[in-house]
Amino acid sequence: MLMCGFGGCGVPTGLLARQGDTEAQQTTLQPLVGRVFVHTLDRETFLHLPEHVDVPSTVPITYHAHLQGYPDLPRWLRYTQRSPHQPGFLYGTPTPEDRGRQVIEVTAYNRDSFDTTRQRLVLLIEDPEGPLLPYQAEFLVCSHDVEEVLPSTPASRFLTSLGGLWEPGELQLLNITSALDRGGRVPLPIEGRKEGVYIKVGSASPFSTCLKMVASPDSHARCAQGQPPLLSCYDTLAPYFRVDWCNVTLVDKSVPEPADEMPTLGDGILEIDPFFCPPTEATARDFLTDALVTLLVPLLVALLLTLLLAYIMCCRREGQLKRDLATSDIQMVHHCTIRGNTEELRQMASSREVPRPLSTLPMFNVRTGERLPPRVDSAQVPLILDQH
């Protein structure tokens, strides 16, 4: 089965590995540098069913893709999937630095049966053939999400509709980016609101007068005032594609940019300037005084503060005698009386001999000495017995 995307085609080369009851299938793809690459992750590729059995659309499947040996995808490649019941997409535009071979490992998860299936995508990134595309234009399509323009049918329809606004020539998709990746906001959950997608198109034919007028300074001034830009031709993208014409960017690479001039290296000696006369000799300066002032002044301040604190803490204590003289005689007599009585009670309590409480002794009769309680009416026995 031949599998193609915008940036290249691939053919399955065979089954390589087995993970549990699933098999890892390898597919070779050929993305092109500077051209958009789209690969669809559909359930037909991962669910191993007989050919005459239709793939149930109710089976939720999610995907996880990463570069072999790394936890994430390469910087130029992105993954998106709107819901587990819809296909996933790997898309992006490789740069000249990404030229070469890259292996992407994709794992599909069946959310009903918890089965997993692996697939390896071998990406052979090469340079594109054919003429260069120096004329590039980027459009913000507000009526679509990125998943809606990644399939080949909407993308081809966009190029066909854009052909009416451009000079005759072949148009090619260069890049597709979600507006959320450009700092856009997630729209409200209202019917008809979309996230938006940036579509970059390139061509070898120059821009038309209509596109140049849209990107003119007059159109930008009208957009800044909240008015629609100048559009001298019929909008062939409407009504299927709603383009924000205030966010159209045109890039002309047909004229090479001048190379930056390399600075000329001199001998390191400045030319004679009558307005700049640097001193030829520096006068000797003694830094001893500055050093002494810097060190001694803080030390003296710290010493004075230490002496002041010591005088307050040690030399200004009132003492017991001064405290007693400042107290009235009646208060002193009252205090001494309470203190003396307290000491006397403590001495009496330490020297008295009191028998142990009955609650701490075994039960016995005080009169007879029996261990058992006396056989008398307990109601007639006083609670506290006289002790002689």
Q: Which two tokens stand for residue 182?
A: 């450009």
The whole-number pLDDT of residue 168 equals 73
| Regions of the chain with pLDDT less than 70 | 1-24, 48-56, 269-270, 318-319, 352-388
The whole-number pLDDT of residue 46 equals 75
Strands 22-29 and 116-125: parallel
Q: Which two tokens stand for residue 93?
A: 């535009």
Which residue has 């330490």 as its token pair? 350
Q: Residue 348: what residue type?
A: M
The whole-number pLDDT of residue 323 equals 75
Buried b (16+ CB within 10 A) or exposed e, 182-221: eeeeeeeeeeeeebbbbbbbbbbeebbebbebbbeeebee
User: Distance of CA 374 to CAs 272, 339, 369, 380, Å?
Assistant: 131, 47, 9, 12
CA–CA distance, 215 with 135 (Å, rounded to integer): 14
Q: Residue 259: what residue type?
A: A
CA–CA distance, 342 with 326 (Å, rounded to integer): 24
CA–CA distance, 27 with 228 (Å, rounded to integer): 47
- Is 201 in contact with 137 (CB distance < 8 Å)? yes
CA–CA distance, 201 with 139 (Å, rounded to integer): 8
